[in-house]
Every structure is written in structure tokens, then in C-alpha cells.
Structure 1
């Protein structure tokens, strides 16, 4: 059996698409500027590893805080859903009580 050529075709298509997009002057200039900024950032953080470590730690702490907030919100929503599951039976009980209060008792 031959290997699937899907991955090779996708990579080749992406390469051709990227090459064709470079014919547009604006795209080419933005790509060059982005590449230069990335190169400068890599060089800066390579020389200042402590600063990179602090930056990464800050991002990790921010991500943990976001996770905790989302987790708390999900737990609260789950609790509210559980509370709302009991609402129909409570309402039905109130309807039955009201109905029985307003109906005349049957005479036997």
C-alpha cells in the first residue's frame, strides 16, 4: 500500500500559497517587519534570560488565575442548574396546594 500524499500535498500547497502571497508588496513588507521584530525579541531574551523567566512566570500565573476563575464559574453554574432541576416539582407542589385550597371538598 502506498502512503497517503495528503500531508505532502498540504505542505506543498501552503508553500506555494506563501510564495504567491509574497508578490504583494504590503504582505512582503509586513512579513519582513514581523520577522525582524521576532529576531530582535529572540536576541533580547537570549541575552536576558532572567527577564524571559519572569515574563513566563507572570503568564503562567495569569493563566492559573484565569483557570481558577473559569473553574469557579463552571461550579457555580453547575450548582444553579442543580437548583433549577428542583423548581418544576416545587412549582407543581405550589399549584397542587393552591388548587386544593380553592376547590370545594367533595360531599360523600
Structure 2
């Protein structure tokens, strides 16, 4: 029961906030302009469904390409991190080799 009151209160607050924001002339004009453009777009795509389908397919393809690119970048970064993890061992090995080369007794 308390949950339904919360939902009603949230909806009422949103409606009151929206109504108060409409008192500002520029907000009202922008909202009317946006609503008109949205109506035109809906009407256009309602009559040109094939074009909407092509547009959606293009967006889906672009999203797939972006995901693949991000995935490749993440894999590359992971590989570099692994290389950097091995770097201190390699450097230590080089230091030890250099140190042993200079500390070995030389025969004349």
C-alpha cells in the first residue's frame, strides 16, 4: 500500500514540475517546437516504414562495429598489461646478467 502512494506521489510531483516549467516562455516554445518535430518524424516514418527499417539497420550495424572496435581495444590493452607485468622480471634478469658479467673473476 505504501508503494502505490509513492508511485502516485512521484507522478504527481513530475506533473506539477512539468506544469511549473511551462510558465517560462522559452521552455514552452522549445517544448512546442520539439513536439512538432517529433510529430512530423513519427508521421513521416509511419508512411515510410522501409526507410525507418533501413535507418534502424544502419544504426544497429554501427553499434555492432563500435562494440567490436571497443572489444578489440580492450583486448589490446589487456595484452599490453600482460607485457608490462612481465617487464620487471625481464629487467631484473638483465640486471643480474650484467652484474654477474662484471663480478666474475677475469683470467689473464
TM over 0.5: yes
Deviation at 1:102, TM superposition (A): 2.2
Deviation string 1:21-56 (CA, Å, 9 cap, x unpaired) is 100000000000000000010000000000000100
* Residues 1:77 and 2:104 aligned together: no
Take 2:7 and 2:90, find their aligned partners in 1: how far apart are those partners? 58
Change (3 A) 1:95 1:6: farther
Q: Which residue of 1 aligns with 2:40?
A: 40
Structure ranking higher in helix proportion: 2
Give the TM-score normalised by structure 2.
0.87
Counterpart CA distance in 1 for 2:53 and 2:15 is 34
Aligned ranges for residues 10-89 of structure 1 at < 5 Å?
10-89=10-89
Return the offset for 1:104: 5.2
C-alpha distance in structure 2 between counterparts of 1:90 and 1:12, whole Å: 66
Distance in 2 of aligned mates of 1:81 and 1:6: 48
Runs of 5+ consecutive residues of structure 2 not aligned to the other structure:
none
Q: How far did 1:13 drift?
A: 2.0
Q: Which runs of 4+ in 1 moved over 4 A?
A: none
The gaps in structure 1 that reach 5 residues or longer are: none
